[in-house]
Chains A and B, each alone.
Chain A
């Protein structure tokens, strides 16, 4: 008995969809799914459009299993889930923009990714964007972006403040929408893999891995063991580099620049080691469907061991510095607190969820090799403030360092890539991979010649951006950069 039986009982599973089953359902079953989401019986992990239909990926609360539900929309409409499950609202608005389908009953009909500037823009997107109204005495508005003061991605933030305190924050995203899913349609595997690695450059390994895994699960392609382990090596290097960068940047936004300087040096060392090992600092285009494109360089293992020693020598001192600096703690403790219930409701992944009590890490459940064979801990805290998010990152750096050592000590030899078989009929695959921000979802359908027919990417940020708006309420405007950095959501991964 699975938690999905009540919805899918009686519907046959679609052939060739792996690893979770996919069911084509009707609106009655769709409504039952909506009720289940509202009641927290299962978790929304993906929600995307296709020609004349919408897909919904659900997981058990433990992420041990899941399914995909497909609702055909022959008349271009589908019942809105956002009415009863607000976390789906922006995904639904994106479906409307990209697939011209209408979410019936949705409270928020505004376009999201469509700013009225595409050749195919909908008429309603061309009007001025209506930010949500705010009323009250003495309120003032602060518009910020899309071009920000720092070297960061573009997005617009609309603050309404009462004196120093933020009463409401509303984000408007979509500025970096490049039409990646459109480019994926019809792309041969090699080109598609390059694009997947550029959905969000900071998570290039995670995205390339999720894409490759979706292809491999769909085509039942074997992956050589050495490639499996080296992929994990790259993924942990990427996680360490990003977490180090974030820890430094958060402290810097609390005006404690020395942490940024030291963490920046450590981060640079990780990137240089990645370059020594795999010939690219960010390891772009190293993970490919069927394996990896570049083997670990001869001097790679020694370089990683030296890196581990170096970080283990330096990092504890920085952690101590963070822990012992009262002026810094004064900024991070109790700032931007995310309530566990809200993290749960939005299925917030990654550091953000785990700092608010949500112990989900898709390396564990549903899990994928080689992590099913590797011991590691998933650091979790309950306090949910900026400080908690710093500590979860610290814990994860330590875990990933240990994983690097383990992977090196058990690295199998052999080939690094195998041919991806050409499917005889269209096949579909879904993959969840734990990037440094949280769970990246890739769903795709491959045609007979192994061309991508449809590929959807769901960044963890979709379920994190709305929470940033919640946590900043009541905090002072000056703490926004701090909260924002502690979330570090992706713009490019979200806007696609």
Chain B
């Protein structure tokens, strides 16, 4: 233990500078999100992740955001255990018929103002799972309103970070 801690003390920090905020994400947000909510949220956001039928690939990369390289928390973004504590729902997966109600209820349990970020190609109209009668036609947006899509299969942690950071950009007053 001491050895490991000692070694860590003298090592270069692994955390990398943040990626530039995703311009496309900013544009999506500028179009949809109400200004007052963005000002109210300020510099920190609590994120509740909801897997609505993903293949688990997206979860792995979302998990990676908390490792030392990306260190999501330094931006004031943190994952919370309950939708009741959340400002943002980060949804993955095409929304299976069997998860539809759980997703809708999680959304209902999240206090307003709230944002929905859909991560991964299959949140957008099903992706590779489109056409199955076991998933909801139209993807996440058919069940709850989506404010921001982060594309990729799965999106890399850098892409996820660039998208999430756009949420923290204050609108020009």
Looking at the complex, which one of B1, B51, B97 makes contact with A118 (CB distance below 8 Å)? B97
CB distance from B115 to the nearest CB of A (A): 18
B contact face: mostly helix, strand, loop, or mixed: mixed
- Bound-complex Cα distance A302 to B153 (A): 27
* 6 nearest CB pairs, A to B: A201-B57, A179-B134, A179-B132, A149-B81, A264-B67, A201-B55
CB–CB A178/B57 < 8 A: no
CB–CB B4/A152 < 8 A: no
- Bound-complex Cα distance A252 to B81 (A): 16
CB–CB A179/B100 < 8 A: no
A contact face: mostly helix, strand, loop, or mixed: loop
The contact size tier of chain A is 35 or more
CB–CB B135/A179 < 8 A: yes
Segment of A86-94, A223-231, A318-326, A347-355 in the binding face: A318-326
CB distance from B91 to the nearest CB of A (A): 11
**Which residues 129-188 of A sit at the B interface, judged by CB distance below 8 A?**
146-147, 149-154, 174-180, 182-183
Please tell me if B54 contacts chain A, counting CB pairs below 8 Å: yes
CB distance from A307 to the nearest CB of B (A): 15
Please tell me if B50 contacts chain A, counting CB pairs below 8 Å: yes
Given contacts A175-B99, A318-B4, contact A265 B56 (CB under 8 A): no
Please tell me if A268 contacts chain B, counting CB pairs below 8 Å: yes
CB–CB A195/B128 < 8 A: yes
Please tell me if B82 contacts chain A, counting CB pairs below 8 Å: yes
Interface string of A42-65 (1 = CB under 8 A from B): 000000000000000000000000
CB–CB B98/A176 < 8 A: yes
- Bound-complex Cα distance A178 to B56 (A): 13
Please tell me if A117 contacts chain B, counting CB pairs below 8 Å: yes
CB–CB B54/A201 < 8 A: yes
CB distance from A2 to the nearest CB of B (A): 37
Given contacts A178-B94, A200-B56, contact A271 B3 (CB under 8 A): no
Residues on A with beta carbons closer than 8 Å to the beta carbon of B64? 264, 267-268, 271
**Which residues 308-323 of A sit at the B interface, judged by CB distance below 8 A?**
317-318, 321
**Which residues 84-139 of B sit at the A interface, judged by CB distance below 8 A?**
93-94, 96-102, 106, 128-129, 131-135
Given contacts A117-B98, A154-B102, A200-B56, contact A180 B1 (CB under 8 A): no
Looking at the complex, which one of B1, B99, B100, B129 makes contact with A324 (CB distance below 8 Å)? B1
Given contacts A183-B131, A268-B67, contact A176 B99 (CB under 8 A): yes
Interface string of A241-273 (1 = CB under 8 A from B): 000010000000000001001101101100100
- Would you give 8 A-B contacts (Cβ < 8 Å), ordered by A? A151-B63, A179-B135, A201-B58, A201-B154, A202-B57, A261-B67, A491-B56, A495-B98
Looking at the complex, which one of A147, A198, A264 makes contact with B57 (CB distance below 8 Å)? A198
Please tell me if A375 contacts chain B, counting CB pairs below 8 Å: no
Residues on A with beta carbons closer than 8 Å to the beta carbon of B93? 176
Residues on A with beta carbons closer than 8 Å to the beta carbon of B57? 198, 201-202, 204, 282, 284
CB distance from B135 to the nearest CB of A (A): 6
Please tell me if A96 contacts chain B, counting CB pairs below 8 Å: no
CB–CB B98/A115 < 8 A: yes
13 more A-B residue pairs beyond the given contacts A178-B94, A201-B60, with a C-beta to C-beta distance below 8 A? A115-B98, A147-B51, A149-B82, A151-B79, A154-B52, A174-B98, A178-B135, A179-B135, A180-B132, A202-B57, A204-B57, A321-B1, A321-B4
Please tell me if A281 contacts chain B, counting CB pairs below 8 Å: yes
CB–CB B134/A118 < 8 A: yes
CB–CB A179/B129 < 8 A: yes
